[in-house]
Structure 1
Amino acid sequence: MPRQVDHDARRRQIAQAVWRLATRGGLEDVTLRQVAAEAGVSARLLQYYFGTRRQLLLGALEILNAEGERIARERIELLGEDPGMRAVVRGVLLELLPLDEERRNRHLVYVAYFVRFLADPDLAETVRQAPPALERLIADLLAQARELGQVHPEIDAPAEAAFLVAGAEGLQASVLLGQHTPEQAVSLVDHQLGRLFVR
């Protein structure tokens, strides 16, 4: 009887190879052959699952994002049934910081993609909506918190969300470079949330 192949697991195996190469030396010169060797698969199999180099880079990024979202949901669920809007917003923002090895590695991969996107505007166009989507999520959470009386009533939720996301993303680099410790970054996020939330 032929062995069943877990196609999702195989795609993830290949994506993980892209991530490892990205953290070691960026994505500028990564080839399909290098990714295949890193993943322990043939170049033909890699192309079967992802097609071109461009499709491989985007596919690996989609898998990374999906995995990050899943882990973030699990961490937020651990906050309990009714953690309060401040805890939820804080949980979302902390996912943007390299606070542990898993998040640090994820952000190193994002840095490699960022450099690649600067060099390839067509590739960058495919991911241009990611930050606005995150800002909208935070803005919606802040608007709900305002309705519940948990934030100051005069806040501009979209503007504050844009600032919070930009601030957390800026802290990514400073933590990776050792300019701030993870604890300092969390403290800065908490300081900003303290400005908005009344309880």
Structure 2
Amino acid sequence: MRKVDHDSRREEVAGAAASLIANRGLEALTTRALAKELGCSIGVLSHYFSSKEEIVIAAFRWADQRIDLRMQEAIADDSPNIESFFPVIKAGLPLDAESDLEWRVRLNLQTFALTHGDSLQAEREKNKQFRDLMTIMIAGMQAKGHVTKQLSAEEITSVAFDLVNGMAKNLLMCPFEEREEKAEYLFKLIELLKQPA
């Protein structure tokens, strides 16, 4: 079997696992349920993944990669300023059905990670990569005079990271039609980071 086929099948399994987790909870993710969802045997699954935890980590990465891709597309601005930072924050929130599914996966897996070492390490590494990326972006905005220097880029990153994560969890509890409005105050807070004229 070619590697591209193998990787494609692993991606398909990870996506199906993510969907099960998002819609029915982590406890619903069994190899039997996953095999049924994919229309294959349990033996086929074991060809691609050696354990349930490996499947869980793959589902976590599947969701994270999709969130990351949206955020990286939003970061594509060559001359970032506060206004160009809004789409980055927005891309990280569960404001539509696709990002809602991804965040449901993330929250289920964050709980799982607390008691599973490999998953916890994957979560820590992911958080560090994202924080590093955001810190570079904010430092760039500070260097160009767009963002206050009263706080370091690392401090602003920590505040933004914690606010977005907390808000994402809270938004999942709200109906879709209320989410945009509830997220508005976060953008008002970000406005306060502008460098005074």
Classify the TM-score, shorter chain: 0.7 to 0.9
Moved more, 124-133 or 42-51: 124-133
Counterpart amino acid of 1:191? K
Q: Provide closer, same or farther for how the CA distance between residues 76 and 147 of structure 1 changes in structure 2, counting only shifts above 3 A.
A: closer
Q: CA deviation at 1:30?
A: 2.3
Q: Provide closer, same or farther for how the CA distance between residues 126 and 31 of structure 1 changes in structure 2, counting only shifts above 3 A.
A: same
TM-score for the superposition, normalised by structure 1: 0.84
TM-score for the superposition, normalised by structure 2: 0.85
Cα distance in 2 for partners of 1:136, 1:65 equals 16
Structure 2 counterparts to residues 38-117 of structure 1, below 5 A = 38-77=37-76, 82=78, 84-117=80-113
Cα root mean square deviation, aligned: 2.7
Cα distance in 2 for partners of 1:25, 1:168 equals 24
Q: In the TM superposition, what whole-angstrom CA distance separates every residue of 1:117-174 from its partner, at most 9, and x where no partner exists?
A: 2343453233222223222222211111111011123332111110111001100121
Q: Provide closer, same or farther for how the CA distance between residues 48 and 169 of structure 1 changes in structure 2, counting only shifts above 3 A.
A: same
Moved more, 38-47 or 164-173: 38-47
Count of aligned residue pairs for this structure pair: 195
- Which segments of 5 or more consecutive residues in structure 1 lack a partner in the other structure? none
Q: CA deviation at 1:85?
A: 2.7
Q: What secondary structure does 1:127 align onto? A: helix
Cα distance in 1 for partners of 2:156, 2:80 equals 18
Q: CA deviation at 1:83?
A: 6.0
Counterpart amino acid of 2:172? L
Cα distance in 2 for partners of 1:179, 1:64 equals 21
Aligned to 1:124: 120
| Residue 139 of structure 2 is aligned to residue 140 of structure 1 | no
